[in-house]
Amino acid sequence: MSLTFYSKTSVMHLLSLVFLLILVVLSPAQASYSGSSQLGKSPQPHHRELVSRSTSDCQELSSVFATGDISTTSDTSFVAISPVGSYSTGPGGLELFLERPSGKITTKDGVNDKVATGATVNSTFTILYGRVTFYVSGPLVPGIVTAAILVGDSHDEIDIELLGGDSTHWQTNVFAPSPRDHGTIYGVFSGLEDYAHGNAEDPHAYTIDWSPQRIAWSVDGREVRALTPDQTLKNSARHYPVRPMRIQLGIWDASSPQGTAAWAKGPVDWTKAPHKTSAMFKNVTVDCPYVRKRKAV
Ligand SMILES: *[C@@H]1O[C@H](CO)[C@@H](O)[C@H](O)[C@H]1NC(C)=O
Ligand SMILES: *[C@@H]1O[C@H](CO)[C@@H](O)[C@H](O)[C@H]1NC(C)=O
């Protein structure tokens, strides 16, 4: 009995020693990765694996949506989660389609009885803090929404939305549900932004800059709104995303339910709207200004 006890203890000692060693080996590797990425150099190959397991969760990326960047399987940076044919890639970037639902569509009490499928694309990676710029244009069809958002599995969101029924503005929003809320709190943290030139149908560069201290939204390099964690207090809880999120691009039909349709200036009037419309995502860039930097020695 006592022999077994001793050998167990020494195995545990050995294990904690190995664990400590791993910690010592891992920490400087992470630090040197962040450091070298600051200088714009590529990380050493043997550091890559360590970084993917590290806590700083942001990898720089720039995509013009070449065919190799997106597919319907998840071995590319972006994955289409809407049906085949709902998107296409080309020299102009990624085009997301929205088609009129087939058959008869009845409008009653401010909603349509059929809603188009639209198109949705996820990034297969997540980021925890970072700066994402979307170069996008959306169709000017009332009731149709073009969205460039960050979204988490627990329904956290940081949004940029182009409403087809309001050509001179774009919308910003944030969600981070709290257990203290009774249902989703819509409209509380939303913002209505303008353009210095042009409208939603022209391509613009929209940026979400998400750090632990603030979320800032910009259009064409001009900051239009910033929100700090304290400014998201509601029901005695912060509604500030602090967990990893995916990039999600989409075009959707906001013709139902009633509140959504009213917000989007819908429902879509299919007697006037083109039967096939699209949003164009020319490119997307992820910058990582908030990864942990090497401490000065
Ligand atoms: C797309 O992203 C959302 C939000 O993170 C997630 O809930 C959903 O599972 C994702 N779908 C795919 C296929 O990646
Ligand atoms: C995205 O497209 C715009 C417009 O063509 C261009 O100015 C910008 O440099 C592009 N960004 C990237 C990362 O390709």
Please answer whether residues 175 and 234 qualify as being in contact, where contact means their C-beta atoms are separated by less than 8 angstroms.
Answer: no
Compute, in angstroms, the gap from residue 133 CA to the centroid of ligand 2. Answer: 10
- Number of the ligand closest to the Cα of 93: 2
Domain closes at, from 52, 71, 90: 52
Compute, in angstroms, the gap from residue 242 CA to the centroid of ligand 2. Answer: 29
For residues 85 and 212, membership in a common domain is answered with yes
For residues 25 and 120, membership in a common domain is answered with no
Global pTM reads 0.81
Angle 169-170-172 (CA atoms, 0-180°, nearest 5)? 140
Compute, in angstroms, the gap from residue 153 CA to the centroid of ligand 1. Answer: 7
Question: Which residues are known catalytic residues?
Answer: 157, 161
Q: By alpha-carbon position, which residue is closest to atom 5 of ligand 2?
A: 282
For residues 37 and 174, membership in a common domain is answered with no
DSSP 149-161: EEE-TTS-EEEEE
Residue 258 within a domain: yes
Residue 95 within a domain: yes
Minimal CA–CA distance to 101: which of 275, 283, 282?
275
- Who wins on pLDDT, 41 or 86? 86
Please answer whether residues 143 and 243 qualify as being in contact, where contact means their C-beta atoms are separated by less than 8 angstroms.
Answer: no
pLDDT of 195-249, one tens digit each?
999 999 999 999 999 999 999 999 999 999 999 999 999 888 899 999 999 999 9
For residues 95 and 177, membership in a common domain is answered with yes
For the beta carbon of residue 29, count every other beta carbon within 10 angstroms.
16
For residues 258 and 151, membership in a common domain is answered with yes
Residue 297 within a domain: no
For residues 13 and 96, membership in a common domain is answered with no
What is the average pLDDT across 248-271? 97
Q: Which domain holds residue 274?
A: 61-287
The answer on pLDDT for 2 being more than 80 is no
For residues 159 and 35, membership in a common domain is answered with no
Find tokens 């940081």 and name the residue. Answer: 158
The number of distinct structural domains making up the chain is 2
For residues 8 and 151, membership in a common domain is answered with no
Rounded distance between C-alpha atoms, residue 182 and residue 172, angstroms: 22
Rounded distance between C-alpha atoms, residue 193 and residue 171, angstroms: 6
Which atom, in ligand 1's list, is nearest to the CA of 124? Answer: 14
120 beta partners? 250
CATH number of the domain encompassing residue 273: 2.60.120.200
Find tokens 């632990």 and name the residue. Answer: 212
The total number of residues written for the chain in this structure: 297
Residue 192 within a domain: yes
pLDDT at position 165 is 96
Could you tell me the maximum CA-CA distance found in the chain, to the nearest angstrom?
Answer: 86
Residue 145 within a domain: yes
Which residues have any ligand 2 atom within 6 Å of their CB?
62, 64, 135, 282-283, 285
pLDDT of 17-32, one tens digit each?
444 444 444 443 333 3
- How is residue 176 written in tokens? 């981070």
The answer on pLDDT for 100 being more than 70 is yes
CA dihedral 250→130→240→248, nearest 10 degrees, is: 10
For residues 69 and 14, membership in a common domain is answered with no
For residues 146 and 228, membership in a common domain is answered with yes
Residue 293 within a domain: no
For residues 33 and 141, membership in a common domain is answered with no
Residue 294 within a domain: no
For residues 178 and 236, membership in a common domain is answered with yes
